[in-house]
Structures are given as structure tokens and as C-alpha cells.
Amino acid sequence: MLCTYLDVALLSHPILAFLSIQHPKMHSKPSTLQYFAVSFLSLLALRYASSTYFDAPSQIVASVCTSVDQPNPVASLYPNNATGTLNGTIAVLPISLELARQLIPPQYDILEHAYRALLPSFPKGMYPAIVQALHDHEVQAFGYKIDDFTRTGIEFPFIDLLHDNSTSFKWAPSLLMTADHEIALNGADDYGTNTFPASFEPGCDAYQAVPNAEKPGTTYFSASSLEGAEFINTLFSSTEEELFPLEFFKNATNQPTFADGKTCDNMIRLFDTSVSTTPNEIQRVIGTVQANIHPFSGGQEWSNVYGLRLDSAFIENNYLSCESFRGYPHNK
């Protein structure tokens, strides 16, 4: 309202000034023009200040980051465990076994027979690396809840950490993570993970719809390190084709995870809660992934990448002995 009054005053001011100086009694007063000039500039300054002041709250509201993730459905069931939801995209990045052998630390073998049991038609001489772009939502334990955060990285499942030719582990050497989330960054650091504080687009969700996209259900995700050249970008669209079955993703995502091998993370992903079933069904996707992140050297790009777009609840047990997972079942 104040801005409106000031606008009227500014519009009327030149007219009043003209009429005043035309009056016979004003001809002998040279200070009149100075008065109107000063008053006009004062009104203009006040108008600018009021505009800045009253517009600021709306700008602040517009920048507030709000997630569309569903509530954590298992927090009350497991109050003494770390629980939450992971919303995002999981996809297979086929690389050659030769390259996988170069990237994975030499002391660990690859359990090729384990992933071929799940993917019998997977191309010979190839290995299924995994990219995950995830938004951690309503993470909590013992009644304490932490802020949401986003993370992404390329992981290497079916690793024989225990040298028993049986138990599959997932090596997750690097993560791009929400830059100002010290709890998440420190938690990953404790596993020996290469962590890269990063900015994300979108900032509060695991993907964003592409306006006016040619393909249905097209979403994008982008993560960029604030300090280095690391990044991961994804562009996925909906598809009816199922190149990799759900059982493969259940197995790969539920394998005990390690970085330096000193301790392991037990992330139990649940695929049958309210966040993963009707009306929140798991969606099959196909798309493109661009990445520059350790242990790869330089930028990489994969096209025709198949995966899933989903939300899933999880239960997590941290910093456990890797040996304790010998013979661990992975499907949940």
C-alpha cells in the first residue's frame, strides 16, 4: 500500500511543480525549483527503499527449499535404529571387466558368477557398475532427526572382500554430498570415503521434471563439486522395457558397503513399504549419465542406461565389522 501512495506522489510531483512555478507569486522565488528537485529525489529514494524492504520477504519465501519426498514409514517400527527414505534413481553402468579390474583395489576379487546368476544375459566380459543419485529424507534414530541431504556416486557391487568366493560386498569409494551437511560428510569420511562437498540441482529432491520434454517422464539431476572438477549429471525418461530385473537392484543395493575396508555399512533397503508401492510405484527408466569422479580418470559418459526411479525406506546399521557379514543374504 505504501508503495502505491509513493507511486502516485511521484507521478503527481512534476505536475505540481509545473503549476507552482507558473503562478505569478512564484516567479520571484528561485528556490522553488530546488525545493521540488530535492523533494522529488527524496520521494524517489523512499520509493526504492520501500520496494526493497517489502519485496525481500517474498524473495526469501521463494528460495525456501521444500522436498516432495514421502514421510519415513518405518521410523516408529525401528525407533532404536537409523531409518529414513532414499528417493532417487539407481542405474546400471556397464563397463568392461578389464576396466573394473583396473579401478577396483587389486586385493579384492570380483564375484562374476554372483551377478551372472542374477543377469544371465549380461554381455560377456562386462561388469555392472551402479550409479545412485539419492535424496536422504527424514533420517532419524532415538527420536533425533537430521536435516535432509543429497548424495551421488558410482559404486561397484559383487566384490569379494572376505575372499570366500561367496559373500558380495559393494565398494563405494567416492560421494558427492550436500556441502553444508557436516553430519553426512563426517559419517562418510569415517568409512574412508572420498567425499566431495557439492551443489545439487534440484537442491531438495533427487530429480526434477524437464519442462516440455519430448519423452514422457523425463527428469534431470546434477551434482558439482564446490572444490574440484568432480560431477555427475543424469537425464532419464520413463520406459516400459525392463533390461535389469528388480531382484538385481534389491541384491546390489543391499550388499554391505565399504570404502577402505576397515568397517562396513549395513544399509537395508526396503522395497515393499508405502513409499515404494501404489500410488508410489517403482518406475523403469532409460537415459544418459555423465560423470567425472574417482576412481575414474577424467570425464565419462554412458547412453542407453537402464535403471529405476524409486523411493525406498531403509534401516541402517553403521560401522560394523565386515567379517560379521560372511554369508550375508542381500535380497530384501
Identity of the amino acid at 98 = E
Q: Are residues 271 and 252 in contact, defined by beta-carbon separation less than 8 angstroms?
A: no
- Residues 305, 307: Cα–Cα separation, whole Å: 7
Q: Is the pLDDT of residue 13 over 60?
A: no
Res 21 pLDDT > 60: no
Percent of all residues in the chain with a pLDDT value above 90, rounded to a whole number: 78
Q: What is the pLDDT of residue 239?
A: 98
> Which is nearest to 156 in space by CA: 234, 292, 86, 257?
257
Strand partners, 152: 133, 176
pLDDT attached to residue 39? 54
Going by C-alpha positions, the residue among 114, 144, 140 that lies closest to residue 127 is 114
Q: CA 198, 312, 281: angle at the middle one, nearest 5?
A: 115
Q: What is the pLDDT of residues 153-207, one digit of tens each?
A: 999 999 999 999 999 999 999 999 999 999 999 999 999 999 999 999 999 899 9
User: By the 8 A CB rule, do 311 and 85 touch?
Assistant: yes
What distances in angstroms separate CA 219 from CA 133, 203, 287, 294, one per listed residue? 12, 14, 9, 25
Q: Which residue has the cell 534389491?
A: 250
Residue 171: how many CA atoms within 13 Å on its side-chain side?
24
103, pLDDT greater than 60: yes
pLDDT of 107: 97
Task: Give the span between the Cα atoms of 183 and 33, in whole angstroms.
Answer: 64
Model confidence at 270: pLDDT above 50: yes
Average pLDDT over residues 57-64: 36
Mean pLDDT of 74-95: 97
Per the CB < 8 A criterion, the answer to whether 259 and 247 are in contact is: no
pLDDT score at 15? 40
- pLDDT per residue over 110-166, tens digit each? 999 999 999 999 999 999 999 999 999 999 999 999 999 999 999 999 999 999 999
In which band, very low, low, confident or very high, does the pLDDT at 65 lie, cut at 50, 70 and 90? low
Query: Quick one: pLDDT at residue 8?
Result: 40
d(CA 243, CA 308): 10
Q: At which residue does the C-alpha cell 562386462 appear?
A: 126
Whether the predicted pLDDT of 109 surpasses 60: yes
Cell of 20: 507552482
The pLDDT, as a whole number, for residue 329 is 86
Query: Among 3.40.1840, 2.40.400, 3.40.50, 1.10.287, what is the CATH number of 82-325?
Result: 2.40.400
Average pLDDT in the 92-114 region?
98
Beta 194-201 vs 174-178: how paired, if at all? parallel
Average pLDDT over residues 273-287: 96
Is the pLDDT at 34 greater than 70, yes or no? no
Q: Distance from CA of residue 143 to its chain's centroid? A: 24
- CA angle (260 as vertex; 256, 264 as ends), nearest 5: 25
Q: In residues, how long is the chain?
A: 332
Average pLDDT, the chain: 86
Threshold 0.75, pTM exceeds: yes
pLDDT digits (tens, 9 = 90+) for 229-261: 999 999 999 999 999 999 999 999 999 999 999
Query: Which has the higher per-residue pLDDT, 182 or 55?
Result: 182
Each domain of the chain, given as residue ranges in start order, spans 2-63, 82-325
pLDDT at 54: 30
Model confidence band, residue 66 (pLDDT cutoffs 50, 70, 90): confident
